[in-house]
Structure 1
């Protein structure tokens, strides 16, 4: 019995550990290993440590016989909404704030191990979080009927294999078990208890989860002792989630009674939703310019158009078969370009620099969600790599991500007044700070 309980609890504990606020565009997480100081430029070509398992498994052939790598990144996004004429839902109180800062600290770990079976064949295992998001507003705010809190957690377990074809070409592949959980809170717009009295606060909590399989492949080309080119592809993952919608009052008699009444009338139910997280293609180059200087570059593509409308459908209760929520994301595919440089100060110390531009998948202010107020991002990064011993490396990195003024005009009014969630109009003052550490060891 205890073993069965632990098997159910373990994935939940891992998801808590591998959750985080999105640092890349959409709700993608790039904190999968070393390279923060270079803005993750050269990710599929550098093969410095076992975290290459995520970026390009072919890179394992460049490692020593056995290597481990583990890291932690602290992410602090900031999303401050400035109201510019929002029209709250007809049953929402207009006397509310702007939600303060919807961002907060998050911590993203990763871990890897690679093992040489012989001089040309390597196996490895990686654990990380490729996607995540967290926004939480001070409630009630002008957009409470659309979103109070939105949280996405993932964990990705990735066994891999790599083979050195010859001194110039290595190939790699892997498969992934990925689990996702999402929690979405919003205020339910309801009729005041009497006349035009205060609105009882009733909140909807929607939770969904699923696990599914994906795969990845990669190739590494050593064109010369000073030049490497890496190619990698990570597949989409199709989730067919299910979960529940629960309703809760605000502790007042009116709020609690209304929540109970709405639940009985089908407001609380089981739900399902299909979600296909995007695939990613990376082309990377590393070039040793001299004994001191190294340049790194990246061009990556992410297929965010796999996410259009996310229909969350009720599967039980009086409203079975009807939408509980439709998230109209309508994402576009995106590109990311990164450049980095390393300066070898001594045999033990290397300084790292990076710059990147990351497109948002959001098409316009009218499709920007209060739960995901994303925009284009520019990364400015620096870091330090220290080798206390030949077989050990400690890498420290920091990044500031500049996000331009982000406009939103999210209209969720409808002809049916019972589902009028208002229009959130304004802009966001946003930015992200990251601080990371990665420790790697060969043995």
Structure 2
């Protein structure tokens, strides 16, 4: 399949997806298939039950039939409701901002095929990172953020080789596009026009390359181990910084122009296991690590005009590396149906309330998941999964008053629902 064709397909998937909120810790998106939702993504690098293994562990293609196709969709509804606890706003800004979450739809698609009995190739399309938070206009934290939207589109051609009956290895390249749109209040005019806000809007994008590798190890007929690593990807976002409103153009700092920002999306390591207890029961486990500390801060720098080279704003994230642990089970009800369930703990990269951003009110979360797989015959499988992500009360005390953006102090009440469906077929 030619790269131009893949790019068009990726763009079509991206348009179908719409806004992408963050569902795993940070703004990582685990929803790269729907078949893993019901197990809370336990065993993700070892299960290798459909072509979506291309993302989690490409070596898993050797466990599939000669040709397989998987297409899936996850519908996700996050909720981020802020309660003010003494914030100091800029100018006439006020209010809690409403629910900053909204529905999003994340499609993905994979195809794999065997060139020879022990050599497989495949390609996957998905969105491994994403975020959207959108508040009411002129809320108390509007000088920090009104909306923040991150999208990534990932094309991942891969190859896998079965070395022997016990060990397979695989690898792939990722072409990734990242798009960011960030809007905040840049200035509020004094009375008699206190609500005449001026907005700064960053609209930037980047293309970059990464890679991933994996191994699938069969310890016994009942037990399989998977290991995978996905590299960090360095993006240089370039685009426009637009200033709109009554104060636009009154000074170089309130003028439109070009801007850029460097972001290195984190690497991820996964260790997974699948063990079949008997003809009906199987257990799945997962431990993963994500290198979020690569994002210590993000400098937004002007790239044109008299202030070229000047940092407009710094997003002080100070992220830490994170761990995720997941356990799951499957029960073969009969020849056509398998029931699934899972539980996971997902650590947030946000260290404390002082470094929590209103654009990413993230916290540790616990996954509760269940679902089923239906096999109607003819090599086809249909997966349905439902997950609820419990997020404890999330405190924030982000003080940017010295920079003229006020102090946001309060608490978030957050949760996430995820519903996924996937169709897979061997042909």
Q: Same fold (TM over 0.5)?
A: yes
Q: What TM-score do the two structures reach when normalised by structure 1?
A: 0.92
- Secondary structure of residue in 1 paired with 2:258: strand
TM superposition shift of 1:220: 0.3
Match of 2:182 among 181, 184, 198: 184
Q: Say yes or no: does 1:215 pair with 2:216.
A: no
Aligned counterparts, 1:2-401, within 5 A: 14-18=13-17, 19-33=19-33, 34-89=35-90, 92-94=91-93, 96-192=94-190, 197-249=193-245, 255=246, 258-262=247-251, 267-401=255-389
After superposition, the Cα gap between the structure-2 partners of 1:377 and 1:175, relative to the gap in structure 1 and judged at 3 Å, is: same
Which structure 2 segments of 5+ residues have no match? none
- Secondary structure of residue in 1 paired with 2:229: strand
TM superposition shift of 1:325: 1.6
- Secondary structure of residue in 1 paired with 2:259: strand
**In 2, Cα distance between equivalents of 1:115 and 1:354:** 30
Instruction: Verify the 8 A CA contact 1:267 1:319 in the aligned structure 2.
Output: no
TM superposition shift of 1:87: 0.7
Q: Match of 1:426?
A: 410
TM superposition shift of 1:16: 3.3
Q: What TM-score do the two structures reach when normalised by structure 2?
A: 0.96
Instruction: Verify the 8 A CA contact 2:119 2:159 in the aligned structure 1.
Output: yes
Which structure 1 segments of 5+ residues have no match? 250-254
Aligned length: 422
Instruction: Verify the 8 A CA contact 1:23 1:29 in the aligned structure 2.
Output: yes
- Secondary structure of residue in 1 paired with 2:187: coil
Instruction: Verify the 8 A CA contact 1:16 1:153 in the aligned structure 2.
Output: no
After superposition, the Cα gap between the structure-2 partners of 1:145 and 1:290, relative to the gap in structure 1 and judged at 3 Å, is: same
**In 1, Cα distance between equivalents of 2:8 and 2:325:** 39
Match of 1:408 among 378, 391, 396: 396
After superposition, the Cα gap between the structure-2 partners of 1:86 and 1:78, relative to the gap in structure 1 and judged at 3 Å, is: same
**In 2, Cα distance between equivalents of 1:62 and 1:339:** 22
**In 2, Cα distance between equivalents of 1:298 and 1:13:** 32
**In 2, Cα distance between equivalents of 1:242 and 1:23:** 26
Instruction: Verify the 8 A CA contact 2:249 2:256 in the aligned structure 1.
Output: no
TM superposition shift of 1:22: 1.0
Instruction: Verify the 8 A CA contact 1:345 1:351 in the aligned structure 2.
Output: yes
TM superposition shift of 1:197: 4.8
- Secondary structure of residue in 2 paired with 1:54: helix
**In 1, Cα distance between equivalents of 2:29 and 2:295:** 16
Which segment is superposed worse, 183-192 or 204-213?
A: 183-192
After superposition, the Cα gap between the structure-2 partners of 1:72 and 1:11, relative to the gap in structure 1 and judged at 3 Å, is: closer
Q: Match of 1:252?
A: none
TM superposition shift of 1:14: 4.6
TM superposition shift of 1:44: 0.3
After superposition, the Cα gap between the structure-2 partners of 1:335 and 1:141, relative to the gap in structure 1 and judged at 3 Å, is: same
**In 1, Cα distance between equivalents of 2:5 and 2:407:** 45
> Which digits, 9 at most, give the CA deviation of each residue in 1:196-224, with x for residues without a partner?
65241111111111010000000000111
After superposition, the Cα gap between the structure-2 partners of 1:330 and 1:396, relative to the gap in structure 1 and judged at 3 Å, is: same
The list of structure 1 runs, each at least 4 consecutive aligned residues, that deviate by more than 4 angstroms after superposition, is: 5-14
- Secondary structure of residue in 1 paired with 2:413: strand
After superposition, the Cα gap between the structure-2 partners of 1:132 and 1:190, relative to the gap in structure 1 and judged at 3 Å, is: same
Which segment is superposed worse, 6-15 or 47-56?
A: 6-15
- Secondary structure of residue in 2 paired with 1:139: coil
